[in-house]
Amino acid sequence: MDRKKELLWRAYLVLFGFVLVTGVILFKIFNISFIERDKWKRQGEANVQWRTVDADRGNIYAEESNLLATSLQFFEVRMDLSLVKDEIFRKEVDSLALFLSKFREAKSTKSKEQWKTDLITARKKGNKYFYLARGLDIEAYNRLRQAPILRHGKYRGGLIDVRYGKRVKPYRELASRTIGLDRENADRIGIEGYFDKSLKGKTDKRLMKRLPTNFGEKDVWVPVFDPSENEISRGNDVITTINIDMQDIVHQELYEGVSKLSAEGGTAILMETHTGAIKAISNLTRAEDGNYYEMYNQAVGRLSEPGSTMKLATMLALMEDGMTNTDTTVFLNYGVRQFSDRTMHDSEKHGRKYASMAEVFEISSNVGTASLANDMYNSVQGRKLWINRLKQFGLNEPTGIDISGEAAPEIKDPVRNKNSWYGTTIPWMAHGYELMMTPLQILNFYNGVANGGTVLKPYLVSEIRKGDEVIKQFEPTVLIKQMAKPENIAKAKLMMEGVVLRGTAKNIKSQYLSLAGKTGTARTNYAVSGEYAKYNASFCGYFPAENPMYTMIVVVYDPKNVFYGGFAAGPIFKNVAEKVFALKTKQARLLSDSLATSANLPMAANGKTSDFEYIFKTIGIQTEEKSSGDWTQIKPSDGIIRFNNKNINTELIPNVVGMGARDALFILEKVGVKVKINGVGKVTRQSIPQGASAKGQTIYLDLN
């Protein structure tokens, strides 16, 4: 009986112990959850947090799907040496040191012995964030994570990896300032800035932990989980109107032109006449090293006095008011005339006492243009009429182009600016002084004339896409339906043709196509004369003259030796026009005659069925049958092209080496993998070999 009581007491004692411990635990839970909740929450959030992570920025493309800007993924790799087991470290530190000494992507000159010494020293100090390498692509990162010690993973090998995106421009300087910059702690500019919300996409949350650092150092936060386990979302793609071939032509011709003239810089814009789409835009500024770079978007943001390119607006206003016609006789007085308290001179001595208005425009007579405007508009009512005509042409407003940084034009108003309105204001404004405009604003006015009087909004972006889905499409936008009477527009166009045929730009007359436009030469430092005088030279016009396809402006800032618009900017305009026209007409012909023979049939290739059908129909190559699938293989045989359906294995990685970016994307997205592209051209390397499993993979393609 005593034995039984003893056992019962022991059981009760154990039970009481359990109850007591349970009570303590419950009290602790209650205390932590409710009484000390805020205290522990603060401590927990100090070291582990859900932190906001930006999505990968979307790509910016030219109109032919050439990459203008993209985000490439890179890794920084470090080690928490305090987590590595003693046995693993002793056994593999020598091998890791050898691996790191030969790992060229680490960009380190350390020998094996130096690496080993540094690893041992860092481990003794309990270093939790020992640096190994940065800027690793996915292939290099995967090789490093399989290195000795690191291959044991995060908790046994101390592996710490931080993924980050880097914005790159495959074409470097081409349209660089217009594409813009994506910079930390600074304003984004260009397309990157204006379409930032679309490009950056939605933010995401990622569980991050804080690593201990030395006093005063910035906190380091790293993902709790492997970066590859949580794919970052991606922003939308922006498709621009830029044609990469035309952009290359414009950039190279402008570069050669400003270099030859040792100019301060220059800008050139090529616009599609009937749509307002910008096909090419280049901005060059001379740096301290003497070379020219895209440093500032002068085309959109730089205000200056336009000089003689303003004369087109003056002539058009005069004709709109019925005051003159192209054959109106103008008194030139041999190129000299007094206006109020100032004397005006023509830039070249022409020895003419009289000329028609058309001739005044062709020889770019300052005196003739100023005389017409002064006689017609330099009165109280006339000044208001003059300004209203400029407003009618849209010259008083920005173009509204979808890019940050457009400067507003500065045009005097006789009422609002009466304190700065002088007796010389009308004659000087008439030939391009006492007002400020950007090259884009001048171009848009000229484009309105080339387009028969319809002024369009210039635009640089045609679509915003999410994969294959079009999120938003941008169409041509009419700003002014008819800025002047059609008959006056026609006369203005004839005068611009005369400038190239007989006037100040006759030196750029082309044997390949007709050009029309106006030269401009603007003095920029009035107080200085002689060899220290500075000018801006420009030419604005369109081509072909009889049926305008493109309108273009070229401005050369402070050219040396040669400063007249016809000789400094005109040749650049001519060279671009001839090359762009040749490019356009060559594309239209597509060499149909030579390709139609069996000897010149294209080689076997894989691609999108609809693309092949369109190409062969356009150039007149006979095909035997059409493919029923989206993806096909073409083979030349007996003078015709045969289509064969190409089946895609959706479970395995295909071989896309040699394909263009579009075709490679098409087939890889069909198998469900995520694609990251580096470069332009054709695929030269793929990070995952053919035949590997496609499930959940991200493949990196190098193009060249």
What's the rounded Cα separation, in Å, for the pair 198 and 470?
A: 12
Determine the pLDDT at residue 96: 94
Let me know how long the chain is.
704
Determine the pLDDT at residue 21: 81
What's the rounded Cα separation, in Å, for the pair 309 and 424?
A: 19
Please tell me what DSSP assigns to residue 678: E
pLDDT in tens, 196-240: 888 887 666 666 666 555 544 556 555 555 544 445 567 899 999
What's the rounded Cα separation, in Å, for the pair 144 and 133?
A: 9
Q: Give 93's contacts (C-beta < 8 A, 6+ positions apart).
A: 116, 119, 120, 148, 149
Determine the pLDDT at residue 531: 66
Least confident of 59-63, 105-109, 556-560, 599-603: 599-603
What's the rounded Cα separation, in Å, for the pair 427 and 366?
A: 9
Q: Which CATH superfamily is domain 245-586 in?
A: DD-peptidase/beta-lactamase superfamily (3.40.710.10)
Burial class (CB in 10 A: 0-12, 13-18, 19+), 211: middle
Distances in whole angstroms, Cα of residue 419 to Cα of each of 293, 412, 413, 425, 428: 41, 10, 10, 12, 16
Determine the pLDDT at residue 657: 76
Q: Give 659's contacts (C-beta < 8 A, 6+ positions apart).
A: 606, 607, 667, 682, 683
What's the rounded Cα separation, in Å, for the pair 45 and 352?
A: 85
Structure tokens, 460: 């640089």
Backbone φ and ψ for 597, nearest 5 degrees, come out as: -95, 155
Backbone φ and ψ for 439, nearest 5 degrees, come out as: -55, -40
CA angle 681, 171, 611 (to 5 degrees): 35
DSSP letter string, 499-517: HHHTSTTGGG--SSS--EE
pLDDT in tens, 646-690: 666 667 777 777 777 777 777 787 777 888 887 767 787 777 766
What's the rounded Cα separation, in Å, for the pair 391 and 401?
A: 18
Q: Can you count the helices (H) and strands (E) in the chain?
A: 23, 30
Most confident of 36-40, 98-102, 124-128: 98-102
652: helix, coil or strand?
strand
Determine the pLDDT at residue 596: 41
577-604 burial code (b ≥16 CB/10 A, e <16): bbbbbeeeeeeeeeeeeebeeeeebeee
Q: Where are the alpha helices (DSSP H) in 86-151?
A: 86-102, 112-124, 138-144
pLDDT bracket for residue 591 (50, 70, 90): very low
Determine the pLDDT at residue 594: 40
Average pLDDT value for the chain = 84
- Please compute, for residue 661, the number of CA atoms within 13 A of its CA located in the half-sphere on the CB side: 18
Residue 267 β-bridge partners: 283, 555
Determine the pLDDT at residue 49: 63
DSSP letter string, 293-310: E--S-HHHH--B--GGGG
What's the rounded Cα separation, in Å, for the pair 665 and 14?
A: 69
Give the distance from CA 343 to its chain's centroid.
46
Q: Which CATH superfamily is domain 51-236 in?
A: Penicillin-binding protein 2a (Domain 2) (3.90.1310.10)
437-472 burial code (b ≥16 CB/10 A, e <16): bbbbbbbbbbbbbbbbbbbbbbbbbbbbbeeeeeee
pLDDT in tens, 396-426: 999 999 998 899 999 999 989 989 999 999 9
Structure tokens, 510: 């082309």
Q: Give 221's contacts (C-beta < 8 A, 6+ positions apart).
A: 49, 51, 208, 209, 210, 211
- Please compute, for residue 241, the number of CA atoms within 13 A of its CA located in the half-sphere on the CB side: 22
pLDDT in tens, 329-343: 999 999 999 999 899
What's the rounded Cα separation, in Å, for the pair 560 and 555?
A: 14
Reported as type and span, the H/E element at residue 539 is strand 535-543
Domain positions in the chain? 51-236, 245-586, 594-703
Determine the pLDDT at residue 392: 97
Q: What's the whole-number mean pLDDT along residues 267-296?
A: 95
pLDDT in tens, 434-492: 999 999 999 999 999 999 999 999 999 999 998 888 999 999 999 999 999 999 999 99
**Helix/strand/coil percentages in the chain, nearest 5:** 40, 25, 35
Least confident of 284-288, 347-351, 382-386, 582-586: 582-586
